[in-house]
C-alpha cells in the first residue's frame, strides 16, 4: 500500500523550478509597468493605472491577458535599453455583466503610452480575435501618440488599427474610452468607433496640440478649451458621453453595453419588465392641451413612455434640438430619435441631422428598433445653415431612415411641417407604424405661414390692422382644422392611427412585439457605421 505523504504546512512555499522562477520574475516585472515612480506620477494626476482601469471595467476575476511579455523590436535612439515588457499596452479578454468583451488599456507609465509597432500589433491581435469571436471591443486610451523613435513603423501601426476599426464597423460594437491625452493620428481610431467616452478634466483629444496651433495660426488656446471633454461634448460632437470620474465612466460603459447586442447576428438582451405595458402617461395628456408655440423638454415624454421611466441619453450636450438614446419598452430595447422643442423649437439643423443619422445607422446595424418622436417645425432657416450644407447634411438623415430595415415606429406629438415631416421617419419613407396624438398638426407648413401665401389678396383687402388680425386668426384656424389635422392625414393612410395619450405606451409596445421578427439578425446587408 502506498505511503500517504506528510501534509505540508499552510505557510510552506513549493520549491520552484528555475524555469518557473524565471516566469514569475518576468511576470512581476511586466505587472509593475513603468515602475513605482511613474505609477506615483500617474496617481498624482488623479488617474488610475492601466490595470486598475481594467479591474474597474470588467467583472471581478474574469480578465485573461494576452501578450504580457511582448517587447518592442526597435533599437534606434536608445530604444534597445528602454524596452519594456508589454510595450505600454495591456490586452486581453474579460466579461462585463457576464458577457465576453475584448479590451486593451494603454499604460502611460510605460514610454508615455506611446504607440510603436509591437504596441499596435498587440491591439490589432485583440481586435482580430474579438471580430472572430463576435464580441464587443473596448479601448482604454491614455497615450502620448506615435512613438517618434520608431518612425514610420509607428504610423503603420496606426494604419493597422484603423483598418480593423473599419472592418469591424457594423459587425461588433466598438467603444473608445479617452482617459488622458489622445493626439495626432491617435484620435482617428476613436472617431471610427461607435461611441466615445471622456472624463472631465482628464481627457483630451486633438489632431494638433495648443503649441502647434499657436505656431501655425498665432491662436493661444488651453488643452481643455481645444480638446477637452466640454469642447467635444458640446461643440464638435466627437464625444458621446462625459463622466465626472474614471469609475463613473466605467459604470456608464457597463450601462451602455446592457442596451446593445454582442454583434450584428444577435438582438439586445430582453429583461424582465415590472412596469405594466398599459401604464398611464399623465404628462402626455397635458401635452395635448399645451400651446403649440410653448417649448417643453422631450425627455419628459420619453421618461413617460419608457419602462420604469429610464432613458440612457447619448450625446446629451450636442445638437440639443434632437435627442437620441436607449430605453426599454415592455422589456425590449429600443433606440429613440426625438425632436426637442426646448432647443431651437426642435427644428432640424446641420448638427442635428448628422447626430440622428449616425445613431440610426448604428441601430440598424445592430438590430435595435427605432422609435421616432416628432415635434418639428421644419429645417432651421438661415444663410449659415444653407452655406454650411443643410441640403447635404439633411440628406444623410433621409438616407439613414430610408435605408434602415429594423422595425420603425413614429409618433407625431405636435408639429410636423414640410420636408422635416418627411425626414422624421414618415410613412412613405418606410416607417412601419405611424401614430399621432390628437394634438398633432401635419402640413406642408404652419397655418400662419400658409395663409399668408394662400390668402394674401384677402388679407390685403382688410380695411384695417385689427380686421386683418382677426381674419388671420380665423383663416389659420380653418386651415389647421382642414389641412393640418391628423384626421386628414389618417384619411390618406399616411398615419395608421390617431391615438389617445393614455394608450400611446401600449400601442408602441404592441407594435414592437408585432414587428419583432421583421428582420432576421445577421441577414441584413452590412454597410458599416461610417462617421457622419
Which pLDDT belongs to residue 410? Answer: 98
The CATH H-level superfamily of 282-444+485-514 is 2-enoyl-CoA Hydratase; Chain A, domain 1 (3.90.226.10)
Beta strands, E only, 296-399? 312-314, 322-329, 332-339, 370-376
Q: What pLDDT is recorded for position 1?
A: 45
Residues contacting 376, CB < 8 A, separation 6+: 339, 346, 347, 348, 415, 416, 417, 420, 421, 424
**Spans in the chain with pLDDT lower than 70:** 1-17, 19, 74-82, 445-461, 465, 467-468, 470-472, 475-484
Find how far residue 38's CA is from the centre of its chain.
Answer: 33
What pLDDT is stored for residue 35 in this prediction?
Answer: 85
Cα separation, 157 vs 417, in Å, equals: 49
- The pLDDT value given to residue 477: 66
Instruction: Please tell me the CATH superfamily of domain 22-259, with its number.
Output: 2-enoyl-CoA Hydratase; Chain A, domain 1 (3.90.226.10)
Q: Are 115 and 157 in contact (CB under 8 A)?
A: yes
Residues carrying an active site annotation? 184-185, 419-420
Q: What pLDDT, on the 0 to 100 scale, is given for residue 363? A: 98
Q: How many angstroms separate the CA atoms of 458 and 38, rounded?
A: 80
The pLDDT score that the predictor gives to residue 209 is 85
Same fold for the domain at 22-259 and the one at 282-444+485-514? yes
Closest CA to 328 of 259, 254, 376: 259
| Residue bearing cell 509597468 | 33
Element at 285 (helix H, strand E)? helix 282-288
Burial zone of 519 (CB within 10 Å; 0-12 exposed, 13-18 middle, 19+ buried): middle
User: Whole-angstrom Cα distance, residue 368 to residue 264?
Assistant: 10
Q: Where do the structural domains in the chain lie, given as residue ranges?
A: 22-259, 282-444+485-514, 447-483
Give 277's Cβ-side CA count (13 Å radius): 15
Q: How far apart are CA 267 and CA 274, in angstroms?
A: 21
Residues 6+ apart with CB under 8 A from 63: 54, 55, 92, 93, 94, 103
Q: Do the Cβ atoms of 502 and 281 come closer than 8 Å?
A: yes
Q: Distances from the Cα of 172 to the Cαs of 130, 231, 436, in angstroms?
A: 8, 28, 35
> What pTM was estimated for this model as a whole?
0.91
Three-state secondary-structure class, residue 369 = coil
> How many other CB atoms sit within 10 Å of the CB of residue 448?
14
Residue 446 pLDDT:
65
Amino acid at each position: 500500500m502506498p505511503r500517504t505523504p506528510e501534509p505540508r504546512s499552510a505557510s510552506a512555499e513549493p520549491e520552484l523550478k528555475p524555469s518557473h522562477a524565471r516566469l514569475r520574475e518576468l511576470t512581476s516585472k511586466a505587472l509593475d509597468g513603468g515602475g513605482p515612480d511613474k505609477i506615483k506620477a500617474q496617481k498624482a494626476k488623479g488617474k488610475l493605472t492601466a490595470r486598475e482601469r481594467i479591474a474597474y471595467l470588467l467583472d471581478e476575476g474574469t480578465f485573461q491577458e494576452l501578450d504580457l511579455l511582448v517587447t518592442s523590436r526597435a533599437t534606434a535612439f536608445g530604444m534597445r535599453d528602454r524596452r519594456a515588457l508589454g510595450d505600454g499596452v495591456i490586452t486581453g479578454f474579460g466579461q462585463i455583466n457576464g458577457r465576453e468583451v475584448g479590451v486593451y488599456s494603454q499604460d502611460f507609465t510605460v514610454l508615455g503610452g506611446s504607440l510603436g509597432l509591437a504596441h499596435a500589433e498587440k491591439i490589432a491581435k485583440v481586435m482580430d480575435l474579438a471580430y472572430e469571436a463576435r464580441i464587443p471591443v473596448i479601448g482604454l486610451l491614455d497615450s502620448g501618440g506615435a512613438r517618434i523613435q520608431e518612425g514610420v513603423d509607428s504610423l503603420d501601426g496606426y494604419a493597422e488599427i484603423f483598418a480593423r476599426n473599419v472592418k469591424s464597423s457594423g459587425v461588433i460594437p466598438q467603444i473608445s474610452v479617452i482617459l488622458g491625452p489622445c493626439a495626432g493620428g491617435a484620435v482617428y481610431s476613436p472617431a471610427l468607433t461607435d461611441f466615445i467616452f471622456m472624463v472631465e478634466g482628464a481627457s483630451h483629444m486633438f489632431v494638433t496640440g495648443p503649441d502647434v496651433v499657436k505656431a501655425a495660426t498665432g491662436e493661444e488656446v488651453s488643452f481643455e478649451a481645444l480638446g477637452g471633454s466640454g469642447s467635444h461634448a458640446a461643440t464638435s460632437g466627437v464625444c458621446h458621453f462625459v463622466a465626472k470620474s474614471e469609475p463613473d465612466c466605467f459604470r456608464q460603459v457597463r450601462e451602455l453595453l446592457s442596451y446593445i447586442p454582442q454583434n450584428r447576428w444577435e438582438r439586445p438582451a430582453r429583461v424582465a419588465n415590472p412596469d405594466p405595458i398599459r401604464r398611464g402617461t399623465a404628462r402626455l395628456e397635458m401635452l395635448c392641451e399645451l400651446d403649440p408655440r410653448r417649448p417643453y423638454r422631450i425627455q419628459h415624454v420619453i421618461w413617460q413612455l419608457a419602462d420604469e421611466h429610464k432613458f440612457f441619453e447619448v450625446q446629451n450636450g450636442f445638437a440639443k434640438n434632437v435627442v437620441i438614446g436607449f430605453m426599454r419598452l415592455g422589456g425590449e430595447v429600443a433606440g429613440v430619435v426625438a425632436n426637442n422643442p426646448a432647443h431651437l423649437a426642435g427644428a432640424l439643423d446641420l448638427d442635428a441631422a448628422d447626430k440622428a443619422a449616425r445613431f440610426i445607422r448604428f441601430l440598424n446595424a445592430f438590430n435595435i428598433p427605432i422609435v421616432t418622436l416628432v415635434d418639428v417645425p421644419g429645417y432651421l432657416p438661415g444663410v449659415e445653415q444653407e452655406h454650411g450644407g443643410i441640403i447635404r447634411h439633411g440628406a444623410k438623415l433621409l438616407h439613414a431612415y430610408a435605408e434602415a430595415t429594423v422595425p420603425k415606429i413614429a409618433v407625431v406629438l405636435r408639429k410636423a411641417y414640410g420636408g422635416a415631416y418627411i425626414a422624421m421617419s414618415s410613412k412613405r419613407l418606410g416607417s412601419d407604424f405611424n401614430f399621432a396624438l390628437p394634438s398633432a398638426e401635419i402640413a406642408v407648413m404652419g397655418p400662419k405661414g400658409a395663409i399668408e401665401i394662400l390668402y394674401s389678396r384677402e388679407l390685403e383687402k382688410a380695411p384695417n390692422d385689427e380686421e386683418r388680425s382677426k381674419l388671420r386668426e380665423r383663416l389659420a384656424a380653418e386651415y389647421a382644422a382642414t389641412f393640418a389635422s391628423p384626421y386628414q392625414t389618417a384619411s390618406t393612410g399616411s398615419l395608421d392611427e390617431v391615438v389617445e395619450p393614455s394608450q400611446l405606451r401600449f400601442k408602441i409596445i404592441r407594435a414592437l412585439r408585432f414587428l419583432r421578427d421583421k428582420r432576421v439578425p445577421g441577414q441584413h446587408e452590412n454597410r458599416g457605421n461610417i462617421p457622419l
